[in-house]
Amino acid sequence: MKGKTILITGSTDGIGRQTALELARRGGRIILHGRSKERVAAAATEIEAETGTAVDYVTGDFASLAQVRDMAADVLKKTDGLHVLINNAGTFSAERRMTEDCFELTWQVNHLAPYLLTCLLLERLKNSTPARVVNVASMTHAYARLDYENLQGEKEYKGSRAYSLAKLGNVMATFYLAEKLANCGVTVNCLHPGVVDTKLLRASYNIAGVSPEIGARTSIYLACSPEVEGVTGKYFDECKETAPSPLSLDVEERQRFMDVTNRMLGL
């Protein structure tokens, strides 16, 4: 990964931090992301001390699309090239909460914000080929059902349902962008990290899981393995391509879903 610039969202702890640590060990130029400047700066200092590699960082709260846009602008200022974007940041909310942009929190943070960030950084990725986008999704995307009148819990809200739907959004966006970027030198893939012991898991399901070291393996694999050079529009689990939900493979439904997403973001 020497000479490669890698942006990892949600990288102050858990899977994101472990991913950043390992890619820094491999010589990548890492850009961390977090909501809190203090926390992300501390994480950068710790990773630098552990790896001997300089680590940069940006800040931005994905509950604010204005901050996502500002963060993207900051990344563009800091980089001449961007070779890997790992969309790892995520949240879980047991109660329905709305953002300043008038979107349901889980929907915005887990789906709209990473998709918007990717779109804002696409030209830089295209100018840095071969480049990779890695979206951290979840096996729970397979539990999602589409009701366009209840995408944001307008009629009924349940935290696990909102999370699954947003993770379906990650998978849908992956396949949509992979098709749009075919033959551009930018690959887009997504993954299930496993049931990982993170703050998000404990908050959402009140259970423990495997270590972040194990949970980060597939993100790291998709970011740097030569085995997936040129592979795009796929879903991975335990570093192996696997079948996503039938719904995510429905081309017409995916187009409708992404049309709705693009309208929400004004894209």
Query: What are the catalytic residues?
Result: 163
What is d(CA 159, CA 161) in angstroms, rounded to the nearest whole number? 5
Angle at 190 (CA atoms; ends 19, 192), nearest 5 degrees = 70
Pairing of strands 55-59, 29-34: parallel
- H helix or E strand, kind and range, residue 236: strand 235-237
For residue 37, count CB atoms less than 10 angstroms from its CB and return exposed for 0-12, middle for 13-18, buried for 19 or more.
exposed
Buried b (16+ CB within 10 A) or exposed e, 106-119: bbbbbbbbbbbbbb
Listing DSSP states for 115-156 in one string gives: HHHHHHHHHHHHTT-SEEEEEE--GGGGG----TTSTTSSS-
Which positions ≥6 away from 140 have C-beta within 8 Å? 160, 163, 164, 167
For residue 5, count CB atoms less than 10 angstroms from its CB and return exposed for 0-12, middle for 13-18, buried for 19 or more.
buried
